[in-house]
Structure 1
Amino acid sequence: MSLPSSLSHRERALLALAALLSVAAVFGPAVPTPALGSAPFADGRPWGALPNAMDVLSNLPFAVVGIWGLRWLHWLGRAHDAQQDAEPLPFDALDCAWMFFAGLILTALGSAFYHLQPDPTRLAADRAGMAVAFAGLVGVAVCERVSARAGWPAAWVALAGGLLAAAICHRSGNALPWALVQFGGLALVLALALARPVPGAIGLRLGRVVFFYALAKLFELADPAILEATQQLVSGHSLKHLTAALAALPVLHALQAMGRQTLRHNSGAAPLTA
């Protein structure tokens, strides 16, 4: 077999990590899903007929950034097509970015649906949307720091793993596969943030993505404490949604920088209206 010898060291390490997480998910001990309880989040205040209003409405930034990113990707493709003798775009990374921003919209919908009336079925829908966004992010990160050819397969493997983990957690109550997807994927992105970008990288600041995501998790853990500290103004869980949406901005910024570079090399490109 000549395939293994054609893989780079980083690609081999990526395959090894995927295999390790898969083995841990299959053979690891079952971790029970914490019971939702009657009040799973600190802020259950309604706004008119809208229950849990802040935790529902704080998902809007996911949709805003997702739509904004998809518009930029659409414009970038049109600007490239209008340019004669244009340099090839990093289509592998851009395909993963399409998945990422579409996943943000699905995350907004799934999370809002869940927080309207938290229950296990709605939680599974919430996690399914998150799995799409997370898979796209993993794909972009792999394109940036491992290789372009590995990004799209990595995104689809992460997507399949995330959706399967969410289904297992819902059907059996075993939260281990979902924890491995979430925290194993975060560890992968953190490790890639410490690696040098590969040639053709779009310039994504992965360290900023990790920072905002980690900050969002801290807000989540301090949900009731933050609500009390802010005198019932905002809860930690609502801040979690807002901060997690900020983690998408470095991806958007990298696309905008690419778009400005496209304009500089093509004065006849479509106007920047995204």
Structure 2
Amino acid sequence: MVLMVKQQLGRGKKTRLWGGVFLCWLFFILITPKFSFYPEHHLFADMRNFLGVPNTLNVITNFPFLIVGVMGFVLTLQGSFFNISFRGEVWGWALFYAGIAAVAFGSVYYHLMPDDDRAMWDNLPIMIAYSSLFSSFLVERVGEKIGLSCLIALISVAFLSMIYARTFNDFRLCMTFQLIPCIAIPAMAFLFPPKYTHSRYWLYAAGVHLLARFEAVADRKIYHANHYIISGHSMEHLCSAVVPVLLSIMLLFRNTRFQRLGDSKERP
């Protein structure tokens, strides 16, 4: 009887979670105007050319993503450096680091010749990384099954969002993925108890991601303020690369606080 009650409570929690996500998405779509890319969106503050490389600083500031992404991917699959307890977490974190590494290639490809078509390959790896990160967070805070189901759903929505954006020139759905780390994760961090120690790194990462968003918006102002040394967009790249670094530190030093009911057996 007690087990049935706990299962019903678990299903109710999942229903409220998905209902909240859907309402937030619907609210965002209703209150925001259509967001389309125009030629001026591809004109960044710093478009200098060094050694024949177009938009040089916007290109080379993507390489930290490649380094952190590849190292994190290898360490996740290796299994002894990061404290990852369940197979569901392995899938989420491995795909997150793969997405981070892919961000380097997609963003470099875009910044070498910015246009609408290349912008898709800049945004898609970011959306995959965000989807995987949110899935890993759900595995830790809510449960392995709902985290994996969320991973599949979000990856599917990411591809559908890109198709919608390219077909209708409306990037609102893609922009919602940009808001996941800095809004959903901090909010849910206070609703669901952490399974591991060092959970404050989730909030650190969300704060750094939010700072990177501000740097992107203030691209030209930052560029003018530091006397044309580095633009806000280039600083956004460097700041965003700090996010997986912080999360890697969390994975390296965290320990299990308790075993959540319904979790599957630990990975071999």
Once the two structures are superposed, residues 108-136 of structure 1 have per-residue CA deviations (whole angstroms, 9 ceiling, x without a partner) of 11111111111000001111111111111
Whichever residue aligns with residue 52 of structure 1, its letter is N
1:99 paired residue number: 95
Structure 1 stretches of 4+ moved >6 Å: 25-29
Matched, 1:63 2:59: no
How much does 1:234 deviate? Answer: 0.5
Q: Which of 6, 30, 46 is the aligned partner of 1:43?
A: 46
For the residue of structure 1 that corresponds to 2:212, the secondary structure is helix
**Is 1:206 aligned to residue 206 of structure 2?**
no
Counterpart of 2:156 (choices 143, 153, 160) is 160
The answer to whether 1:112 aligns with 2:108 is yes
Q: Please tell me whether the aligned partners of residues 11 and 147 of structure 1 are also in contact (alpha carbons under 8 angstroms).
A: no
Asked if the contact 1:138/1:189 (under 8 Å) is kept, the reply is yes
Distance 1:8 1:257, change over 3 A: farther
Distance 1:220 1:27, change over 3 A: closer
Equivalent positions of 1:1-274 (< 5 A) are 5=8, 7-21=10-24, 23=26, 31-37=34-40, 40-76=43-79, 89-184=85-180, 186-199=182-195, 201=196, 203-204=198-199, 205-257=201-253
Deviation at 1:30, TM superposition (A): 5.8
Q: In the alignment, is the contact (CA less than 8 A) between 2:198 and 2:250 conserved in 1? A: yes
Structure 2: distance between partners of 1:203 and 1:151: 20
Q: Aligned partners of 2:29 and 2:240: how far apart in 1? A: 29
Q: Which amino acid aligns with 1:95?
A: W
Q: 1:71 offset after TM fit, Å?
A: 1.9
Structure 1: distance between partners of 2:39 and 2:17: 35
State the one-letter code of the partner of 2:14. Answer: E
Q: Aligned-pair distance for 1:203? A: 4.3
Q: CA deviation at 1:169?
A: 1.2
**CA RMSD across the alignment:** 2.8
Give the Å deviation of 1:206.
Answer: 1.1
Deviation at 1:51, TM superposition (A): 0.2
TM-score, length-normalised on structure 1? 0.81
Identical positions, percent: 21
Q: Contact conserved, 2:181 with 2:209, CA < 8 A, in 1?
A: no
Greater shift, 120-129 or 187-196, is seen at: 187-196
Structure 1, 52-61 or 202-211: larger mean CA deviation: 202-211
Does structure 1 conserve the Cα–Cα contact (< 8 Å) formed by 2:130 and 2:180? no
